[in-house]
A and B are shown apart, each in its own frame.
Chain A
Amino acid sequence: MTWEAAFDFLLAAGLVWSTWRTLTTRRLDRAIVLFIAFGLLMTLAWARLSAPDIGLAEAAIGAGLTGALLLDAYGALSGQRKDIS
């Protein structure tokens, strides 16, 4: 097995693992951070598939902006929860 194949295999396993963890983890904040990690792994996967254009867009929009939006929404939600209780 070459190094490249080993890296691809690790990357694919990491993608599946981070997806699984994102969907099953109980804490919302942890799920968001895992989603961002998933986006960054996805960027690497696109780069390995020699599609750097999609990789750039995924890194900027998928991981960056969406992650920030989710984190902000989480912050707003937990702030509301504190107000109510």
Chain B
Amino acid sequence: MKRLAVATAALAFTLALISAMLELPAPAIDLRGPVAAQLAASGVDHPVTAVLLNYRGYDTLLEIAVLLLGVLVILAVGVERPAAAAEQPDPLLEMLVRLALPLMIVVAVYLLWAGAFRPGGAFQAGAVLAAAAVLRHLAGLQAGWAAPGPRLRLGLVAGFVVFLAVAVALLAQGALLQYPPAQAGILILAIESALTLSLALILAGLFLFLSP
């Protein structure tokens, strides 16, 4: 009886949600028009990238800062790792990973480049690179990052530092992250390249710092 009452209530709530979704009110502010109108001055041809790296660049800057902070906390806390069991890598798996890795790197670079004019961009490219590193680790070709060296640390902060440097350099113009339209494209590409590297290392680090 109790179960029936709960099920009925859940069903009624679901139906109410569905009916609410079918009659969505018109959004109070519609920004599609302004975004499209300013696209020519943003330095890229894809509206999503324009929003992420130009109109709302501040959000993306904070986003990479938060991700970096997460990895720093993992490093600071220091995870106790079990002694690495030296496993013999599976030859079939190893072969597959060796075949897939170059493809994944090409896909990542393509995604980074394509971000300027079609779906893609730094986050997707970084995630693909991170997945490649995780795959390498799982196939037994790469040990976990027990003690990150200076180069790895530099790579982790590169995206944030480059982004911040661009923001500071442009501060003289009066507004934070307001790119001059002529240089916007190249600035965004530079930021995105650094972001890709850092995101790949951060996302892979979430896995490899915790793993033997």
The interface of chain A, by Cβ under 8 A from chain B, is 52-53, 55-57, 60-61, 64-65, 68-69, 72, 76, 79-80
> Within 8 Å CB of A55, what residues of B?
119
Q: A76 to B134, alpha carbons, bound, how many Å?
A: 15
- Nearest chain B CB to A51's CB is how many angstroms away? 9
Within the complex, which residue of A56, A61, A64 is in contact with B120, where a contact is CB–CB below 8 Å? Answer: A56
Do A57 and B82 touch (CB < 8 A)? no
Do B134 and A60 touch (CB < 8 A)? no
> Within 8 Å CB of B131, what residues of A?
60, 64-65, 68
Most buried by B among A53, A57, A64, A76: A53
The interface size of chain B toward A, counting residues with CB under 8 Å, comes to 19
Kindly supply a per-residue 1/0 record for chain B positions 118-142, scoring 1 wherever the CB is within 8 Å of any chain A CB and 0 otherwise.
0111011001101100110010000
Residue B211 interfacial (CB < 8 Å): yes
Q: A76 to B207, alpha carbons, bound, how many Å?
A: 13
Q: A68 to B211, alpha carbons, bound, how many Å?
A: 12
- Nearest chain B CB to A24's CB is how many angstroms away? 15
Do B127 and A57 touch (CB < 8 A)? yes
Do A53 and B127 touch (CB < 8 A)? no
Do A57 and B123 touch (CB < 8 A)? yes
Residue B197 interfacial (CB < 8 Å): no
Within the complex, which residue of B82, B130, B211 is in contact with A65, where a contact is CB–CB below 8 Å? Answer: B130
- Nearest chain A CB to B209's CB is how many angstroms away? 12
Q: A31 to B206, alpha carbons, bound, how many Å?
A: 22
